[in-house]
Amino acid sequence: MNTQHAHEVTGIIPGYLLANLAASGRFTRAAEAARQTLVAGRPAYHSTLELSIGEDGSLIAEVSAAPTRTIYDAQNTEQLPGLIVREEDDAPGADAAVNEAYDGLGATFRLLLEAFERDSLDGAGAPLHATVHYGVDYDNAFWDGTRMVFGDGDGEVFRGFTLSVSVIGHELGHGVIQSASGLVYQGQSGALNESVADVLGVLTEQFLRGQTADQATWLVGEGIFTDAVQGRALRSMIEPGTAYDDDELGKDPQPGHMRDYVDTLEDNGGVHINSGIPNRAFALTATTLGGNAWERAGLAWYRALTSGISPRATFTDFAEATLAAAADLGDDVEAAVAAAWREVGVFEDDRTRSPR
């Protein structure tokens, strides 16, 4: 994968899907857009002051963390960052993509702060930057190490990428991972990088909608495909391999069990493919526990991410870290975590206690 600013540049649309689309005879505009996308590659503390009146009539001032968002417009060029079109506290404008990006950044910030007590991506109030209208018919959205970048899609296969809150949360999730653990974007650690980003993406959407684990779709990028595509989303966390099945795009290749793990040199060793395995482990944990997924399952995953795991952690390494984190959240959480990793074939024994 190309790099920029010495960081991995992570795109929501995997290269293998774009490659299939580039060869399409049915989606001619989208095929050209995919070819252009493949050629292009993936290239201060703010707070809120809340005032209230105490029982004795005194004025109470409370300061809490708040996002500092800046949205840029690339004006369909590939020059970053573009022109500033909306900053923190500016009113919404006429450009839907600008407003969607702004709101999506805010939704992710609120999830991190309220669910995990993390102040922005780095835990220290880092500003949030995003660029919209990148390129012409650009079929991707990516984190370039410093900002979110959104293409508008080709309109034939892909819609605008700001439409999906889970996509926005996913790409900002790469910023959290970059700061918290630096999981290397290759092989199993890369698949974990993609999976944790998916976790943060779906949790952002669920948190925004107030959905419990049972109410959630567990889809990443729902609504990104146009009606011309036979598919619901880019990925399904609860049922990997079922998100799409289209004559031109192919079938969703994600496995949900280690017996189907894909050994490949493509896609940085299958980072977008094999992430289906830890994805399913998280979704199983959350649905087993019920309630809001960010409260217990999400907390176990977040604490594992920030526990000092190796940047080259394997699935087993990360599973052990989630089990250790779950031990502090209750026996039922620990049991659910162990059962989920066993269900996807990462744990082969009947362990129910984390290693000491």
Domains parsed from the chain with CATH numbers: 3-343 (1.10.390.10)
> Which tens digit of pLDDT belongs to each residue from 233-282?
999 999 999 999 999 999 999 999 999 999 999 999 999 999 999 999 99
> Which tens digit of pLDDT belongs to each residue from 182-239?
999 999 999 999 999 999 999 999 999 999 999 999 999 999 999 999 999 999 999 9
Alpha carbon of residue 67 to chain centroid: 18
Share of the chain above pLDDT 70, in %: 88
Report the C-alpha gap between 102 and 305 in whole angstroms: 26
Residue 171 annotated as catalytic: yes
pTM, 2 dp: 0.87
- The SS3 call for residue 250 is strand
Catalytic residue from among 8, 171, 194, 205 = 171
Residue 272 annotated as catalytic: yes
Q: For the chain, count helices (H), then strands (E).
A: 10, 14
> Which tens digit of pLDDT belongs to each residue from 68-94?
999 999 999 999 999 999 999 999 999
* Cross-strand pairs, 4: 7
Catalytic residue from among 156, 272, 320, 334 = 272
Residue 148 φ then ψ, to 5°: -85, 140
